[in-house]
Amino acid sequence: MAIIEINHLSHNYGDKQILLDTSFVLNPGEKIGLTGVNGAGKSSLIKIMMGQVIPDDAEMYFNKKYTIGYLDQHAEINGHQTIKQYLGGAFAKLYEVEEKLNQVNNSLATETNPVKLEKLLNQSGDLFEYLQANNFYQIDSDIEKVAAGLGVTALGLETPVNTLSGGQRAKVLLAKLLLEQPDVMILDEPTNFLDVEHIEWLKKFINSSEKSFVIVSHDASFLNAVVNIICDIDNQKIVRYVGNLDKAMLIKEERRRLYEKSYESQQKEIKKLEDYIAKNKARASTARMASSREKRLEKMDILEKPSEQIKPTFRFAYKPFGGRMMLKVDQLVVGYQKPLLKPITFEVNHGEVVAITGFNGIGKSTLLKTICGIIPQLAGEVEIARNVKIGYYEQENDFHGFSGTPLMYMRQEFPKLLDKQLRANLNRSGLTTIHCQKQIEQLSGGEQSKIKICVLTIKESNLLLLDEPTNHLDKYAIDCLKEAIKEYEGAVILVSHNKEFVQEVADKIIQLDKMHL
C-alpha cells in the first residue's frame, strides 16, 4: 500500500498553471528523485505533501502509519542551544520515556505496598525494554556518527547554533533529520553545503537505509547513486520513470523526440486536410469529399505543441582592464575573532579562472568576503590593482531585507535603466514576465539565484568572485553559467562544491584543506 498517493493534482502558482491533472505516488522503500527545471513545481509539490500548501484540486491519501520528515533549510532553530543539544532534540520522545522511567524507579524506592510494588516493577521493566529496543543508550554514539559523517563535528558540538553560517546551519538541520529517522525523508538540495567526502557518506547512508526518500537535487551524480525512481515535472505533468537519473533522461529524450515527430507529422496532415477543404468545399463535385475530410479533422485528437525549455543566456558585463596582475594576497589571515586558516598567499592574473576548494566551514566564503572588503583581514595584505572592478555573487540567497518583485529589485540596483531594459535582462537570465511580477520570497531558490546572476550581467566588472553559484540552479542554467565563465574576458575566483563544474572551468585550484589550522 502506498505511503502517499495524490491523483488529479492541479495547482496554480499565482497566474501560472504549474501542475495540471497529474499524479504522484510514493511506495515503501522507494527513493524518488524529484526533478524539473527551476520553477517547474518541485517546491510546490513538496509543500503540498507537507500540508503547507492546499492544491487547487487533488485526491490525496496519506498512510497514517508512516511519519514524514522534511529538510527545511529555512526552519527556525533555538539559538540558545549548542549543536549537540539541538541534535539531541531528535530523541525528545525517548528522553521523555527516560524521565518517566526515573520517576517510576524513584517510586519503587519508597513503595511498600506489594501490589503497587509489582505494578511499578512491571512498568519499569516495560519502559526499560522500550528504551533498549529504540537504542536509547547509544544516542551519544549515533549523534557522533552522523555529525562526523556530515562534517558537523568539525564545527564543534558545543558551538551555539546561533553562531552558525547558513551552510553550517543547513548541515545541522540535515543531521537532526537523519537522527530522527522518520519513515519518509524529504530532502531539498541536501548536498548544497556538503563537501565531497560528506556527500559520499550521505550516499552510503541513504543506500543502506530501508526508509523512503523524496530528494530534490541538481547534483546528477548524487541522484544517480541513490535513487531508484525519478519523478520529473515537465509541462505541468509528473512523469514517473523507473531507474536512476541517467536512465530516466534517456527515456525522456526519446519520448520527446517521438512526440515532436508525431506533432510535426500531424501538423502536416492537418494542413493538407485544411487546404483540401478550402479548395474543394465550394465545388459541387468535391463538396462531399471535402465534408468527409472536415469531419475527420474535427474528430482528430490534436497534439499540443511541444513545450520549449526556458534556457537562460548569461553573459557577464565586462569592464576593460589593461594590466596583467589583478589581485595579490600576501600572508593573509582570515577569520572573525580567531583565524580560520594559516596565512595564505596567491595571485590572480587577468583572464584566469581560479577555484578555491576545501571542506565546508574551512573559510572559503570568509576569504572571498575579506577580498571584497566586507569583513576586515586579521593580518596580511590584499592588494587589488588599480582599475579592478569586482563583481560579487554571495552564496546565500539573501536580498538583505528587500521585499518586492525582481523588477523592483532591479530598479533599485539600476535606477537609470528603463523597465523594458530590466525586463529584457531578466528574461535573458531565464525569468519570465510572471516571475518578474512575483515577490522575490515566492520564487524558487534557482529563480532567486538567476536574479543575482542577472545583476552581474548588467553591472560591469573585470574580477568576478562567485561563491557557490551553482547552488539551486538546474542543469540548463549550470551549463549556461559554464559558458558565461569561459567567455568572460576578466578573471574569476570561484568557490564551488561541484567537482565536475570546477574541473571544466578552472585554470588553477587553491586547496584550503592544506592551510587549515
CATH of the domain at 404: 3.40.50.300
Cα–Cα distance between 192 and 109 in angstroms, integer? 53
Q: Dig out the grid coordinates for 441 from the structure.
A: 520570497
pLDDT at 369: 93
Domain-terminating residue out of 146, 181, 216? 181
Q: Is residue 102 part of a domain?
A: yes
Q: Is residue 261 part of a domain?
A: yes
What is the torsional sign of CA 111, 117, 119, 125?
positive
Same domain, 265 and 390: no
**Max Cα-Cα span within the chain:** 112
Same domain, 90 and 139: yes
Kindly give the pairing relationship between strand 229-234 and strand 31-35: parallel
pLDDT < 70 stretches in the chain: 74, 307-310, 514-517
Name the residue type at position 453: I
Same domain, 425 and 482: yes
Residue 373 CB neighbours (<10 A): 12
Total domain count for the chain?
3
Domain-terminating residue out of 117, 149, 181? 181
Same domain, 291 and 366: no
Kind and range of the H or E run holding 348: strand 344-349
Same domain, 293 and 329: no
Q: Dig out the grid coordinates for 298 from the structure.
A: 474535427
Same domain, 291 and 332: no
Same domain, 283 and 411: no
Domain-terminating residue out of 181, 209, 239? 181
Q: Percent of the chain at pLDDT above 90?
A: 52
Q: Is residue 280 part of a domain?
A: yes
Same domain, 266 and 376: no
- Cell 580560520 belongs to 340
Same domain, 353 and 483: yes
Residue 29 and residue 18 in contact, taking contact as beta carbons nearer than 8 Å: no
- Cell 541538481 belongs to 218
Same domain, 358 and 448: yes
Same domain, 354 and 419: yes
pLDDT at 308: 65
**Could you tell me the residue range of the domain that residue 421 belongs to?**
325-515
Kind and range of the H or E run holding 392: strand 390-393
Q: Dig out the grid coordinates for 1 from the structure.
A: 500500500
Same domain, 350 and 451: yes
Q: Which residue blocks in 444-514 are alpha helix, DSSP H?
A: 445-458, 475-487, 499-505
- Sheet with 325-333, side-by-side order of all strands: 344-349, 325-333, 379-384
Q: Is residue 153 part of a domain?
A: yes
Closest-CA residue to 156 (of 361, 335, 369, 366): 361
pLDDT at 238: 95
Kindly give the pairing relationship between strand 184-188 and strand 212-216: parallel
pLDDT at 493: 96
Q: Is residue 55 part of a domain?
A: no
Q: Is residue 290 part of a domain?
A: yes
Residue 218 CB neighbours (<10 A): 22
Q: Is residue 143 part of a domain?
A: yes
